[in-house]
């Protein structure tokens, strides 16, 4: 027996999928800008561990000599990134979705268990709400990173008119470094995100597109007491009934999968 | 047959579907919209990239992008204020090696000894000035963080005549009430346009000294613009002609796709 469980509201799915290409354009145009003065590297003493970026990287992505183009795209798409981000945050606050998103007291300890579980060190599954503890921390961090990108970006854009902003981040140079580092952060987030989505499987991925997850439940009456997962109480808002010429009772016995989904309201 | 039945069922209202049918229908519809969205993204992207890039004042970049850059100017030029000054630094923070960048308009067929600045007034008359004329006016010294559009910056020390002092001293108030200041090198190979509010900013100077010494040739001897509220591309070296306009004067780098305003 299957049950349809609402997971992601339509608005959040849109914010998510709009952010994907917009952030892509921001990172790409940011690279075109960064190339013009590519001084960042990670190392100690005279030893360079990572240089941002090797020539081969620039060549593959056709980065060189496109500063003007990069700036133009960056200062156009910044508006989309900003408004999409602002609307997402406002929606999360006013819809109450923040309850599933923000880390709580248990999250810090549980995130550790999630990590151990995902690395196959620990067998027991950590509690999985709509988001598990590690997801709560990661998705909240990404919002803070987004705010950081917008503020540092604004500071770099208008370092004199918004001199106070530059001062908060420790000067012009430091503001640029933070802005760059946050971008590296997005790329790392993206890589882990993709891997986790692949491991989590189709049902989880589909939920980000359709909004619902399909949960298999035993052929028993649905629990009357509230589910421990608050999000799971609410099943499909549209009452779904089966249209069949058979008698209701007969159908229920014959067809295991096509079972009437009870209404929550 | 079963398949056809199944598909035709999907067109019914959700209320009449089985759970399986509902899942399939909702999945198909949602993914359809996702693909339409990605299609729209790709289409918009191609549309932007195929828009005309007209050379000239508005040009150098696709028109929709230029329009947004101009809108950004309209928004962010509102926060430009004479009270927002570029941060100044103590002499101890000045870099030793000042980085010259760009030599367009700095050709060798130039005789520094016979240099004059030509100021084209609103009436059409030309005011001809020597370096000594400018040195008679009050001198303004500034140590600030010079910012190149490429992304690097240097704390450097410059001195010269504050542009607004120059305007007052030569009675160019009518000219200063126009919207733009235009500057050109003597060979007219490099040229910039600057909105008047930025030109009149108290830290904008007609500069003839670097670190207390006459400007080196590479840094624009005898006279250059120092305008801390703009990126380096606007700090024209070796000023030949100064003029005023209500429409945007041609700007070398704006014609090559950079933001005309380039304000900081």
Residue A137 lies in a domain: yes
Q: Tell me how far the alpha carbon of residue B4 is from its chain's centroid.
A: 62
In terms of Cα–Cα distance, which of B144, B141, B140, B150 is closest to B95? Answer: B144
Residue A136 lies in a domain: yes
Residue A85: enclosing H or E segment and its boundaries?
Answer: helix A67-95
For A140, the token pair is 């909240």
Given a cut of 90, whether residue A265 has pLDDT beyond it is no
CB-based contact B199:B256 (threshold 8 Å)? no
pLDDT digits (tens, 9 = 90+) for B118-164: 999 998 899 999 999 999 999 999 999 999 999 999 999 999 999 99
| Rounded mean pLDDT, B80-87 | 89
* Probe site for chain A from B10, B19, B99 (most A CB atoms < 10 A): B19
pLDDT-based confidence at residue B1 (cuts at 50, 70, 90):
low
In chain A, residues with a C-beta closer than 8 Å to the C-beta of B93 are: none
pLDDT digits (tens, 9 = 90+) for B17-37: 788 888 888 899 999 999 999
> So what's the pLDDT on residue B57?
55
pLDDT digits (tens, 9 = 90+) for A5-17: 888 999 999 999 9
Q: Enumerate long-range contacts of B135-142, CB under 8 Å, 24 or more apart.
A: B135/B208, B137/B161, B137/B165, B137/B166, B137/B169, B138/B162, B138/B165, B140/B165, B140/B205, B142/B86, B142/B88, B142/B203, B142/B205, B142/B226, B142/B228
* Å between B25 CA and nearest CA of chain A: 10
* Å between A265 CA and nearest CA of chain B: 15
A-contacting residues of B 202-241, CB under 8 Å?
Answer: 228-229
For B199, the token pair is 């030109």
Residue A212 lies in a domain: no
What are the residue boundaries of the structural domains of chain B, listed by start?
A: 2-49, 63-96+113-256
pLDDT-based confidence at residue A223 (cuts at 50, 70, 90):
low
pLDDT-based confidence at residue A136 (cuts at 50, 70, 90):
confident
Q: Enumerate long-range contacts of B37-43, CB under 8 Å, 24 or more apart.
A: B37/A17, B37/A18, B38/A21, B41/A21
Q: Which CATH number fits domain B63-96+113-256: 2.60.120.1360, 3.90.420.10, 3.90.550.10, 3.30.1600.10?
A: 3.90.420.10
Q: How many domains does chain A contain in total?
A: 1
> So what's the pLDDT on residue A81?
96
For B206, the token pair is 């007609």
Residue B152 to residue A37, Cβ atoms within 8 A: yes
> What is d(CA B212, CA B246) in angstroms, rounded to the nearest whole number?
36
Q: Where are the alpha helices (DSSP H) in chain B?
A: 2-10, 19-49, 63-76, 131-135, 163-169, 173-176, 196-199
Average pLDDT, chain B: 91
Residue A251 lies in a domain: no
Q: Is B158 helix (H, G, I), strand (E, B) or coil?
A: strand
> So what's the pLDDT on residue B124?
87
Start-to-end CA distance of chain B, whole Å, equals: 69
Residue A113 lies in a domain: yes
For B121, the token pair is 């007034």
pLDDT digits (tens, 9 = 90+) for A109-126: 887 788 888 888 777 777
Kindly report the CA angle at B137 between B131 and B138, in degrees rounded to 5? Answer: 130
| Rounded mean pLDDT, B68-75 | 92
Domain housing A162: 107-200
B-contacting residues of A 181-240, CB under 8 Å?
Answer: 206, 209-212, 214, 236, 238-240
> So what's the pLDDT on residue A236?
45
pLDDT-based confidence at residue A254 (cuts at 50, 70, 90):
very low
Residue A71 lies in a domain: no
Residue B65 to residue A4, Cβ atoms within 8 A: no
**Chain B nearest-CA residue for A244:** B16
């Amino acid at each position: 027996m299957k049950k349809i469980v609402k997971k992601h509201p339509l608005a959040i799915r849109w914010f998510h999928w709009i952010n994907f290409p917009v952030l892509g354009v921001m990172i790409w145009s940011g690279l075109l800008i960064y190339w013009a003065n590519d001084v960042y590297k990670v190392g100690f003493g005279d030893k360079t561990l990572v240089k941002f970026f090797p020539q081969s990287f620039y060549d593959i992505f056709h980065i060189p000599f496109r500063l003007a183009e990069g700036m133009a795209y960056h200062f156009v798409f910044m508006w989309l990134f900003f408004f999409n981000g602002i609307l997402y945050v406002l929606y999360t606050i006013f819809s109450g979705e923040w309850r599933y998103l923000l880390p709580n007291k248990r999250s810090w300890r549980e995130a550790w268990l999630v990590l151990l579980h995902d690395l196959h060190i620990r067998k027991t599954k950590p509690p999985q709400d709509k988001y598990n503890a590690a997801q709560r921390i990661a998705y909240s961090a990404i919002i803070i990173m987004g705010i950081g990108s917008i503020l540092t970006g604004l500071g770099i854009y208008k370092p004199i008119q918004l001199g106070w902003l530059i001062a908060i981040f420790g000067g012009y140079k430091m503001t640029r470094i933070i802005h760059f580092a946050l971008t590296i952060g997005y790329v790392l987030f993206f890589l882990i995100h993709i891997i986790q989505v692949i491991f989590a499987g189709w049902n989880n991925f589909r939920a980000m597109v359709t909004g619902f997850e399909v949960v298999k439940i035993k052929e028993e009456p649905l629990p009357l007491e509230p589910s421990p997962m608050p999000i799971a109480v609410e099943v499909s808002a549209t009452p779904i009934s089966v249209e069949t010429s058979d008698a209701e009772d007969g159908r229920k016995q014959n067809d295991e999968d096509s079972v009437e989904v009870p209404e929550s309201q | 047959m079963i398949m056809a039945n199944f598909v035709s069922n999907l067109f019914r209202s959700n209320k009449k579907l089985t759970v399986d049918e509902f899942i399939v229908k909702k999945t198909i519809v949602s993914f359809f919209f996702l693909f339409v969205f990605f299609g729209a993204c790709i289409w918009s992207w191609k549309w932007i990239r195929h828009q005309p890039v007209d050379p000239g004042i508005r040009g150098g970049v696709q028109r929709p992008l230029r329009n947004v850059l101009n809108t950004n100017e309209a928004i962010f030029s509102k926060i430009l204020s004479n009270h927002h000054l570029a941060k100044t630094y103590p002499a101890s923070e000045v870099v030793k090696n000042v980085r010259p960048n760009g030599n367009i308009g700095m050709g060798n067929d130039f005789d520094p000894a016979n240099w004059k600045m030509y100021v084209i007034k609103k009436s059409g008359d030309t005011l001809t000035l020597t370096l000594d004329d400018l040195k008679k006016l009050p001198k303004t010294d500034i140590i600030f963080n010079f910012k190149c559009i490429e992304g690097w910056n240097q704390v450097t020390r410059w001195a010269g005549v504050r542009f607004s002092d120059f305007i007052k001293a030569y009675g160019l108030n009518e000219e200063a009430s126009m919207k733009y200041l235009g500057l050109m090198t003597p060979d007219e190979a490099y040229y910039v346009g600057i909105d008047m509010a930025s030109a009149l900013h108290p830290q904008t100077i007609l500069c003839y000294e670097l670190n207390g010494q006459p400007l080196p040739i590479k840094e624009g001897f005898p006279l250059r613009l120092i305008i801390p509220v703009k990126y380096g591309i606007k700090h024209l070296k070796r000023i030949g002609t100064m003029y005023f306009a209500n429409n945007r004067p041609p700007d070398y780098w704006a014609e090559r796709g950079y933001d005309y305003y380039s304000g900081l």
